[in-house]
Structure 1
Amino acid sequence: MTTAVALPRAGGSGGRTAVAARARQVTKAYGTGETRVVALDAVDVDIARGQFTAIMGPSGSGKSTLMHCLAGLDSLTSGRIWIGETEISKLKDKQLTRLRRDQVGFIFQAFNLLPTLNALENITLPMDIAGRKPDQQWLDTVVRTVGLGARLKHRPSQLSGGQQQRVAVARALAAQPEIIFGDEPTGNLDSRAGAEVLGFLRRSVDDLGQTIVMVTHDPMAASYADRVLYLADGRIVDDMANPTAELVFERMLQFSGDDPRTPDEHVEARGRTS
């Protein structure tokens, strides 16, 4: 079992930050007997409020499962999860649905847009359901940053895959939720558009105190985060603060077994590049 604790916010005073989400002894298993597969193995983790956390790991490591459990999208085999002060692992379905609607934003590769609504209506849908009016100035900033100004009246079928992902990103950000979970949120964007969205996510953390948890396989995307958690075989095996693309790539090679350097040599390399 590996325990990851909340870290000071990058560039801050160095004090401990509040925790936006936390997991204690979280286990997720599929199947029984000889066919039982453990996707998460007694994971403990704190997600600091006002930070950008990236989750990485090889295929089958449990990174998406961890995010889905933290977000209340998947049930637990055992353990406990909180968002803020609310233990979501004990909520009934209607309570959990309400909490996700009011406090959580989602960005996934499957855009999950309603085909009968135009782009703007899809962006404001969570707020419409909750009976809240959007902050127009913030909404305008979100739309401008993700480059949707000329496409707001278009329905999903009239948008490219990349444009649909931008709508999904804008929808998650527009309501300014307590925490945003993203599964490869720029995976369907070209490098320039992806960098713009990642930069905006970064600014939403720095300027507005947004909390973001992002699953990614891309070292460059992970470099926008304050912290990178690495999973392997359902456990957190490393916790990197202040990542760079180069350091993330080196660590990925180390865990994949493709890098001939020893762990000590990696530590020395990190010291030279820090």
Structure 2
Amino acid sequence: MTVVTTASRTAARVQDAVKVYGSGDTAVRALDGVSVGFPAGRFTAIMGPSGSGKSTLMHCAAGLDTLTSGAAYIGDTDLGALDDRRLTLLRRDRIGFVFQAFNLVPTLTVAENITLPLDLAGSRGDAEWIDALVDVVGLRDRLHHRPAELSGGQQQRVAVARAFAGRPDVVFADEPTGNLDSRSGEEVLGLLGRAVRQMERTVVMVTHDPVAAAHADEVVFLADGRLVDRMESPTADKVLDRLKAFEVPS
């Protein structure tokens, strides 16, 4: 019998991914034949210059946008083969999202915001898992507060907890520290790392910040819509040096 470990599985991937916006002379090829997999149980960062296609890649891999050609998979599920209803259910049940804007509901408490996706799905979730998650994100003493009573870093921690509450196959994070000061950003990045290592989750993060990328296990680099490099065990200095190679001399 073959035992498939978390580290040997792919949580999400795209194959020959092409995304074109517009048509004719104004067409923009945001993705140009990208094939890349994001391993389960790992923290992967996607980086590249502005306009490189990194956000487009994340949106297509997460089923928030559709490819012009090629395929996107969550596990073994081909997103392109799903109708709108099944795609909506897959995003609800198997994918978590963390965005630059916290997107919390201001009238709900922290506890209610965390469980909101489960409540909307009519699911009670795993109470033991959610309780452990509250401790991982350090919000035990804030559960009955509302977002306006929290700092920006605390609000983003609520958003992270909400993303993981349903035990999704993969959490996609789009510039999750973009609205935070450096200290709060470090807290959120450390939290994402702990979710991967302590709770065996999978995170794919788009970022422009080499310091943020250094928290990942691996960095995937895009340029002009193409995959151009991958870096294991990144450091901020190594990532910055690699990004400088993309700069066009003036």
What is the TM-score normalised by the length of structure 2? Answer: 0.90
Q: Deviations over 1:71-113 (max 9, x none)?
A: 0001111111110111011211110010010000000012222
Q: Compute the displacement of 1:33 (Å).
A: 0.6
Q: Compute the displacement of 1:257 (Å).
A: 4.2
- d(CA) in 2 for partners of 1:199, 1:135: 24
Matched, 1:151 2:133: no
Question: Aligned ranges for residues 39-188 of structure 1 at < 5 Å?
Answer: 39-188=30-179
- d(CA) in 1 for partners of 2:128, 2:183: 25
Alignment partner, residue 200 of structure 2: 209
What letter corresponds to residue 23 of structure 1 in structure 2?
V
Q: Compute the displacement of 1:194 (Å).
A: 2.1
**Which sits farther off after the overlay, 120-129 or 195-204?**
195-204
Q: Deviations over 1:177-225 (max 9, x none)?
A: 1100001112223323322222222122223221110001111111111
- d(CA) in 1 for partners of 2:202, 2:173: 11
Contact 1:181 1:213 in 2 (8 A): yes
Q: Find the residue that maps to 1:61 and give its secondary structure.
A: coil
- d(CA) in 1 for partners of 2:109, 2:158: 10
Alignment partner, residue 7 of structure 1: none
- d(CA) in 1 for partners of 2:199, 2:138: 20
Q: Compute the displacement of 1:226 (Å).
A: 1.2
What letter corresponds to residue 249 of structure 1 in structure 2?
L
Contact 2:156 2:188 in 1 (8 A): no
- d(CA) in 2 for partners of 1:45, 1:161: 33
Paired residues, number? 245
- d(CA) in 2 for partners of 1:228, 1:100: 24
Alignment partner, residue 20 of structure 2: 29
Unaligned runs of 5+ in 2: none
Alignment partner, residue 11 of structure 2: 20
Q: Compute the displacement of 1:154 (Å).
A: 3.1
- d(CA) in 2 for partners of 1:194, 1:63: 20
What letter corresponds to residue 106 of structure 2 in structure 1?
P
Q: Deviations over 1:116-175 (max 9, x none)?
A: 322211110112233333444443343344343343233334444433322211111222
- d(CA) in 1 for partners of 2:154, 2:7: 38
Is the alpha carbon distance of 1:199 and 1:149 closer, same or farther for their aligned partners in structure 2, counting shifts above 3 Å?
Answer: same
What letter corresponds to residue 140 of structure 2 in structure 1?
G
Q: Find the residue that maps to 1:175 and give its secondary structure.
A: coil
Question: Aligned ranges for residues 192-271 of structure 1 at < 5 Å?
Answer: 192-257=183-248
Contact 1:165 1:188 in 2 (8 A): no
Contact 2:152 2:184 in 1 (8 A): no
What letter corresponds to residue 87 of structure 2 in structure 1?
L
Contact 1:24 1:79 in 2 (8 A): yes
- d(CA) in 1 for partners of 2:192, 2:149: 26
- d(CA) in 2 for partners of 1:195, 1:175: 24
What letter corresponds to residue 221 of structure 2 in structure 1?
Y
Unaligned runs of 5+ in 1: 1-12, 259-274
What letter corresponds to residue 33 of structure 1 in structure 2?
G
**How much is the aligned-residue C-alpha RMSD, in angstroms?**
2.1
Contact 1:145 1:197 in 2 (8 A): no
- d(CA) in 2 for partners of 1:150, 1:190: 22
Q: Find the residue that maps to 2:92 and give its secondary structure.
A: helix
What is the TM-score normalised by the length of structure 1? Answer: 0.82
Alignment partner, residue 29 of structure 2: 38
- d(CA) in 2 for partners of 1:97, 1:188: 28
